[in-house]
Structure 1
Amino acid sequence: MASGDDDDPIIQEFDVYLAKSLAEKLYLFQYPVRPSTMTYNDATHLSAKIKPKQQKVELEVAMDTMSPNYCRSKGEQIALNVDGTTCDESNLYSVKMMDKQTLTSIQATTDTSRYAVAVIRKGEIHLTPLQGILQMRPSFTYLDKADTKHREREAANEDGGSSQDEAEDDVKAITVRFSRPESEQARQRRVQSYEFLQKKQAEEPWVHLHYHGIKDGRSDHERQYLFCQSMGTTENTELVKTPGEYLAMLMPPVTEEKVVKPTGPSNVLSMAQLRTLPLGDQVKTLMKNVKVMPFANLMGLLAPGTDSTAVLRCIQQVAMLVQGNWVVKSDVLYPKTSCSPHSGVPAEVLCRGRDFVMWRFTQERSVMRKEVAALIKLPPEDVKDFLEQMSSPRVNRGWEFLLPSDHEFVKKHPDVAQRQHMLWLGIQAKLEKVFGFSKEDFAPKKDSQADPVHVSGEQRLKTARDGARDNQASLQRDLDARRKGPAQKPSGAASRITTSTSPPPVCIKEEPLSESEDEAMDLSDNAGPGLANGSLNGYPGSPNGSTSDTQNGGHTGGPGPELQDFVRSTFRRHFVLTFSEMKRHLNLHLASQPPGHCPFGTVPDRTLQDAILFCQCRQIVVPFPPQIKLATDEQKVFGLWESGETFDRYRQILFELFSKNYRVRKNVVMARLNQELGDDVTKSDVDRLLKDCCTTQGGMWYLKGTMQS
């Protein structure tokens, strides 16, 4: 102890007193969003109020509108948004300008038993325990008021909503419901809900206070209560504790404090907390809160670099695809043990009704609430809940789906869209049994543009034969008219008569042409003059197919220029294609054309292959293993041989390698390029070449379309 005293000598001794006059009234205010040099001491405090049980304080502080840092136009705009143009006592800002702000408190800690305020006077320390530590922050409730005003103005512009909603409100006014006895489990959920807690907090009345500045006389008077008031009347007792006990009193052993979570809604989660969860829980939490979301927005909310394939797997567990957007599943929102907060309807019935609403939006952009409510037979509040989650009301148009259709997602992920379509078919079958309707009852309205028609091979064969027969009869009538001469031609008659109509847009199935179809496609060789152009550059019997013999090149034995341009542009994008893949691109291009516009018409395999070879492409004879069985079209592999670029030589060397083996290694390609072109070949050149022409699996590289499991 002696050595310790030498190292830590006593400088001064103080008598410590415990002041209790303000023990239950003393609060410490902190201002975490304001620098310590910018105090509110000189600001004008307009009002103050407190809720003692909740330890909630609100201070109203005037703003210096004459300060050079104050933006007058912004202040006027905020006041206009909050109060509007009316002048009455309910206005928040009486001078048509934001001239004040409200500071609202939150508790910095709920346990203040170890905190006190100390003042020193004449060698004495006086301690007063703190009742609470509050952090004062600016309140933005005026923005909520402005938003409410905006919604009221919108509602007024819409004349109070649709007449359908007014009729339902009238029905609601005379509806009689009997509440069921509340179970203990339901009561506990209600008591723990955020809405209940907010209601309980709102029940405590505000106690209005009068603010006194730091230099005010009343403040000086109150500060005197920070000193112990009974120093002269109470006899000081000598401390009888041992040094060890006294030290333990001053510095009690560290114990784990029970963390008391602040009161708040159970579904609120920060993005930092969200990203600590597994990916599936992140997706589920986001969908439960947002309800309806495009896939691109979902990816934007997740951590950068998240695998989209994994997200797709997770989203399909908790949501359904509606018009290309994801809508959270009903059983996620309404678990089995839950019930409607409005009517007490069990979750199973709610899920069926909400699934029906979702299914209707897969058929149409808008639905009528009255029709939905009449069919699913749920209370109007629940039906409105369903609709508000995924749609918004429109004047005289019912409820329109919340987001525009996301066609890009459907095009990018056709497998997901098809799987979701099959799921909806299963849900539709269940809904038809439960609600007793048929899909014809809600047949979607036909668009002005006809839907694509899928034509089978037999139908195409019959169309080709009928078209050839009609054109041959038309040509015969032309020849007869020419022999009779112009004197016997009916006045005003056309020299050629065609009785065809524009065909619907055609989506041809991806299937190999049969021998009979090939025969039908080659009818142009024996159908007389003028039919070659009809079979190659237009539909048989169409206006494009009934032009003169020499128009658009006629039958010259080679592919038409439009077909050549399409083939050339396709190979410049893909570089290597199997014959069946090329036919698929051609069919997709034909299907995307508007009705009546058919640049190529029906293209036989022989003509398409001639067009490929005519466009500086070559067939690459890849030696497939004998155990791999492929269709004839899959064994035909074509590659772009010459395009006028210096990179052509790289592709030619690669194609020569594949003519000897159906798969190669990257180092073999690099070595061969160095051998043929010298050391100027870089790694990036090889990477570009393989990316353009090949796919990889297990460390080996295959030409596009030839990799088979």
Structure 2
Amino acid sequence: MASGDEDDPIIEEIDVYLAKSLADKLYLFQYPVRPSSMTYDDVNHLSAKIKPKQQRVELEMAIDATSPNYCRSKGEQIALNVDGAAYDETNTYSTKMMDKQTFSSIQATTNTSRYAAAVFHKGELHITPLTGILQMRPSFSYLDKADSKTREREAANEGGDSSQDEAEEEAKAITVRFSRPESEQARQRRIQSYEFLQKKQAEEPWIHLQYHGVKDGRSEHERQYLFCQSADASENSELVKTPKEYLSMLMPPLAEEKVVKPVGPSNVLSMAQLRTLPLVDQVKTLMKNVKVIQFANLMGLLASGTDSTSVLRCIQQVALLVQGNWVVKSDVLYPKNTCSPHSGVPAEVLCRGRDFVMWRFTLERSLMRKEAAAVIKLPPEDVKDFLEQVAAPRVNRGWEFLLPTDEDFIRKHPDVAHRQQMLWVGIQTRVCCLEPEQISGEQRLKAAQERAQKNQAALQKDLDARRAGGAARIKQEAVSDREDEPMDTSCPIPNGSVNGYPGAASPSSGHANSNGGGRTEASSQELQDFVLKTFRKHFVVTLNEFKRLLNLHLASMPVGRSVFPLRLRPHADGRHRAPPLQTDPGACEYPPTMVLPRCSRRMRPREASLPLQTNSRRAPGGAGRTSISSLAAL
């Protein structure tokens, strides 16, 4: 050859034959604990057994106890620990000495399709595919047997041999439970569990074999099967190929290897699987998982040698710059035609609310949750989800942005930072319309009054319909702890009032002649003041709580003063009486009178202010008369 460009000459042609006689029975044994110069060919093999499905082999080999390198005392001690002092046919060491050892196999590789055993004979190469490659290592299962013997002896010493004295066990109730249907993921996890593998290994029985040495006649006979039994080319069609087929075998086309995904949660992606994706998908997947990250940390998660310029181009498609850090875009987390997993709010509304939260973090590092909730008007679960993605709660400071400001990135990439700032200006114009309108308390009160005036006609119509529907319903309550306590309905009121309201002789009874106009206005104003004061102190209050506060307020007021206006009319006997309740006209001769019950000392303020009791007695003319006692009714 004058130069390297010339073709290599053919020196020799060798015929290759494929032997199939031992194709599914040929194993390669390796002994990694010994050098190749120290083989076990001359060692006495006592027994051999195999589990073909698991490709598991065990060999028992004799130990030369007469060797000067053998410690006799140690061998006797091991045999004593394993078998004990008593002799038994099942003893591991029948000579009371460790005179043998067991070699157990493990698979060196699970895919042996590329391995074969070859024999070169008379210018012919005969190859046989390997079924398995096994590494034989010493087994120390006898130590486990020694430990079990020790535990058995300790249990026998503690409990004694009481098996003959044991009484028959009592019958116990057994609870029958039915297992629920197993999912595919649960089945895969169970199959790959250590307990399942141990069970499967124990189910396959051992097949005992007979060992033949290297120089044995049977071994020589079996070695003949390594040669192809027929020289006919038609039976070796696997090796008879056209030049094109042979070239494709030497240089096969690239094929995507199917990667078996490990069993795990559905939302977890391994780094090995991640790096098989395109760069833009890698960045998008990482951002969806981390939510917020510094650019330097993102480069560390990607494969070494990845171009930072390409990463910058990709990350701007799926993330926005906040405080020098990259935060995943809202439309990536909440795609179109999706909704919130917490409240079912559409994705468009979620994106607008989350963009407002991120925009606020571009202005300051902390944000109060109430401020954000008042603006975006989303359920609390969604607002909390937005904040937990990019911020952490701080005492007395609200929610602080999760990562420190990355000044280094802003300094190295000013063009990217400026471009992101312009994007935020555009987002600001979209989210600023969400700013809350500042409305004072007086404006809210005025708006409520206007709404009440608009609805007054409908409310009056509803009230008239209720009045026409039937008689008034009066709640029955006891006025004191003693239900049978008599009521004084005839004695005059010492304070000159009827039911706590000024009567005709009272100095403040001028409202009776003027139809209660001035008193009504004063009472209404006092009631309004109480309501405003209550709701300024308690922004949210239940109806029962409001009743309780009003009862306490009524109990603390001076005698003869009330927030409820009551219009009295003069009667024939000179006393001012309340307007008659809507009752059956034929059952009442005189209009009901408002009288004050005699309060007991044991009455609570609420009991003294809210008694409603109806007593019926016969009038002189035979008609029924109704007396109603009341201080206030809600």
User: Relative CO higher for 1 or 2, CA cutoff 8 Å, sep ≥ 6?
Assistant: 2
What is the TM-score of this pair, normalised by structure 2?
0.37
State the structure with more CA Rg: 2
Richer in helix (by share): 1
- TM-score normalized by structure 1? 0.33
